[in-house]
Amino acid sequence: MRKLAVLILFSLVCQARPLLAQDAASLQFTVAAPDPVMAGEEVTLQTLAVNSGASVWERGSYYWIGEVYAIEGEGRRFLTQTASVSPAEDVAPGAAQGVQLLFRVPDNLAGRRLLYRVFLIKDGRRILETDFKGFQVIEKELRYTIPEDFKIGGDVSFTYKNNSRDGWDHHQGITSANLVGKIRQSSFLFNTYVVHTYHRPITPTIVLLNYYAPWGTLSIGDISPTLTPLSMDGQGMRGVSFERARGRYSLLALVGRIVAPEEPGPNSGGRFARYTSGLKAGWQFRPNLKVSVDAVMSRDDMHSINITTAALTIKPQQTVVYGLNAEWKFLKAFSLNSDYQMSAYKADMEASGAAVGGSAWKQELKYRADLFTARGALSRIDPKFYSFGSPSVIPDRQVVDAELGLFPADWTTFTVAYNAYTDNLDADPAKTTTDQAQTTLGNMLRILGKTVVNTSIMTNTAKAQTEGVQDNQTTTLNLSVTQPLGRHTLSAGLQQSSFKDNLGLSHDLDSSLLSLNGSFKINRRLSLSTGLVSSATKDKVDSSTGKNNSLTGSLSYAIPRRGMAVQCWATLASAENDSPLSPSDNSSVTLNVETVWLKSQNSRFTFGVGGVSRTDNLNPAADETVLNVMTRYNYSF
C-alpha cells in the first residue's frame, strides 16, 4: 500500500463516553500536486481532516474517495471516480487523518483545467465533502489546429508503456478516444480512456457516450444524474440514463453502479457493490409551475464479494426512496423548490422483518437580480430516512443553508454563506445532541481589469449540548492572486487553517498551504511552466510537524518546419513527519522526456523515456529507481 503523503500528526487515547454522537469531520486543507500536471501522468489529491466528532473512526469503517470533473462552459461534467483508500489507522476524536488519492490524467484531456472533490465515507455515510478544487493539465503534444466547423471527426490514440520494475514486466496499453458526430437529425459525443494489462485486458477508466436525438438524450458510462435534492443528487455512477421532454411531459430514467465492490482486507471490512435505479416523471402544469414524482431503489449485491469468515459485520442493505417535487417561479426573480420524500430501509436484506420507514423534506427559495442573488433552504431529515442516491443527505438532521452574493460592480463581488445543523431530532437520551455551523465570507477583486484577487474566511464550529462532551472550532483563511503578463500567467495561493478544542480533550492543530505556479510563452517555439505546492501541519501540544513539498517544471520546444516537438518535465517531491506515532522522511525525483513527430496533419507519433527515484530515509529497503518507456500513435479525422 502506498504511503500517505500527509500522515497522521497526532492521536489521543480513546476515552469511554456515556453518550453517543454523530460522526463529524473538519477539513484542514485539500490540494492537488503537482500543479500543473502533465497529461498522462498521476496527480495526487492530498487531503487532511480532523475528527471533530465524539466517536472513534475505527479502521475498516471509513474510506476516502474522490471525483474528477471537466469544465464545460459555465458547468461541470463528471468524468470519473478515483480508487478508494481505506487507511489502516483508527482515528480518535480530535486526531488528524491524511490521505493521498491518485488520479492518472488521461492524455486526451491535455490543455484543460480539471476540478475535483474528495469525500470521506464513514459507515456508508458521507461525513465530509470538500468544495470543488482545480488543477491545470499541460499539453503534451504538438497538434495541428482542427477547424471548428467540422461535423464528424475525432481523435484516437494508442499508447504502450513499460517500466523496469520486475525486469520490464509491466506492459501496459492505453486506448483513448474523443469522437463527435452526427447521424441524420441526431448527434453524439464519445469519450473513453481504457487501460490494458496482462491480468486485466480491459479496464475502462473513463467512458461516456452521449447520444442526442429528437426522441431524447441517452447517456452511457460515467454519469452523475440528478432527480431531486433528497432522492438522488451529487452521486457519480457508471450506468445508463435516458432523458426525454415532449410538450408538458418530461421523463428521466437511470440505472447504474454507485459503489464498487471491495474484498475484505487488513484495512477494510469490505464493501458490496451497490446498484441503483431511478425514475422521475414531470408535468408542466403552468409555465411557472412544474410538479414531478420520483422513485429510487438502491441495493447491495451480496454476491459481489467473498465472505469467508463470520467475523465480518457488513450486511447487504437496501433502500427505496419515493416522493414529490415541485418547482414554482414567481414574481420574475423568485423560485421555490419543494421536495418531500419517503424511504423504506433494510439494514440487512437477508434478515426477516419489514423495512424501516422514514421521511424528509426540503424547502429552497432563490432570488436572482442584477446586483445580488440570494438562496435559503431549510430541510429536516428523519432519523430513519436513508437515501443512498444522495450521500450528502444524512439522517437525523435539521439543516439551515443560506447564501448571498453581491455584485456592486463588474470588478468586485462579495459572497456570504451559512450552513448549520442540529441532530438527535427525537431527543434520544442515549445520544448527544450536536450543533454544528459553518460560516464563509468571500470577496473577488479585479484590479485594472487584469489582476484577480480572491480572499475568504471560513469558521466551522461543533458543540455538543451536553456539557464537556464536544466543543471545537476550525478557522480557515484563503488568499489567491492571478496575474496575466502578456502571454504569461502567474498565480499564487495561501491558506491558513487552525483547529482548536475548547475543552482541551484534543490536540490543537495549525496547518498552512502555499501554492505557486506560472506559465510562460517565450516565443512561438518555446514555452515553460512551473508549479510549487507546499503544506505544513503542526501539533500545538506535542510540537510534532508534518511537511509536504512538490515542485514541478516543464519545457516544450517546437520545430514546426520538421513537424517535431521536444518536451521535458520533472517533479521533486518530499514528505517529512516527526510524529512519534507515524514518523516519515521520504522523497522522490521524476524526470521524463518525449519527442513528438507529426507525420501528417492527421497522424503523429510520440516516443518517451523517463524514470523515478524514490528514497526513504527511515527505511532504506524501500528505496527504488524505476525507468520507463512509452510510445504513442495518434490519429485525428
Only one residue has cell 480508487, namely 83
**pLDDT at position 11:** 33
* Interatomic CA distance for residues 237 and 354, integer angstroms: 28
pLDDT band at 312 (very low <50, low <70, confident <90, very high): low
φ, ψ for residue 503, nearest 5 deg: -95, -10
pLDDT band at 134 (very low <50, low <70, confident <90, very high): confident
Identify the top-confidence range among 86-100, 147-161, 324-338, 548-562: 324-338
Region 512-529: what's the mean pLDDT? 90
Q: Tell which residue, 259, 257, 262, has the closest CA to residue 238.
A: 257
Q: Does domain 194-361 have CATH number 2.40.50?
A: no
Angstrom CA distances, 616 to 85, 532, 622, stand at: 22, 21, 6
- 348: which DSSP letter? -
pLDDT band at 105 (very low <50, low <70, confident <90, very high): confident
**pLDDT at position 413:** 95
Answer whether residue 15 shows pLDDT above 80.
Answer: no
Percent of the chain's residues with pLDDT above 70: 93
Q: Which of 12-26, 244-258, 423-437, 484-498 has the lowest mean pLDDT?
A: 12-26
- Higher-pLDDT residue of 111 and 396 is 396
**pLDDT at position 50:** 83
pLDDT in tens, 561-577: 778 889 999 999 999 98
Exposed/middle/buried for 570, CB within 10 Å: 0-12, 13-18, 19+? Answer: middle
Angstrom CA distances, 353 to 123, 300, 350, stand at: 22, 18, 10
Identify the top-confidence range among 3-12, 212-221, 414-423: 414-423
Instruction: Show the cell assigned to 421.
Output: 445543523
**pLDDT at position 442:** 95
Region 131-144: what's the mean pLDDT? 72
* Interatomic CA distance for residues 127 and 212, integer angstroms: 36
Region 542-558: what's the mean pLDDT? 89
**pLDDT at position 22:** 66
**pLDDT at position 18:** 34
Q: Tell which residue, 106, 198, 206, 122, has the closest CA to residue 157.
A: 106
Answer whether residue 530 shows pLDDT above 90.
Answer: yes
CA torsion angle for 265, 47, 405, 473 (degrees, to 10)? 100
Answer whether residue 149 shows pLDDT above 70.
Answer: no
pLDDT band at 469 (very low <50, low <70, confident <90, very high): confident
pLDDT band at 356 (very low <50, low <70, confident <90, very high): very high
* Contact residues for 588 (Cβ-Cβ < 8 A; gap 6+): 571, 572, 573, 574, 612, 613, 614, 615
Answer whether residue 112 shows pLDDT above 90.
Answer: no
Answer whether residue 4 shows pLDDT above 70.
Answer: no
According to DSSP, the β-strands at 488-501 and 125-129 are unpaired
Mean pLDDT of the chain: 86
Residue-range domain boundaries for the chain: 194-361
* Interatomic CA distance for residues 141 and 596, integer angstroms: 6
Answer whether residue 190 shows pLDDT above 70.
Answer: yes
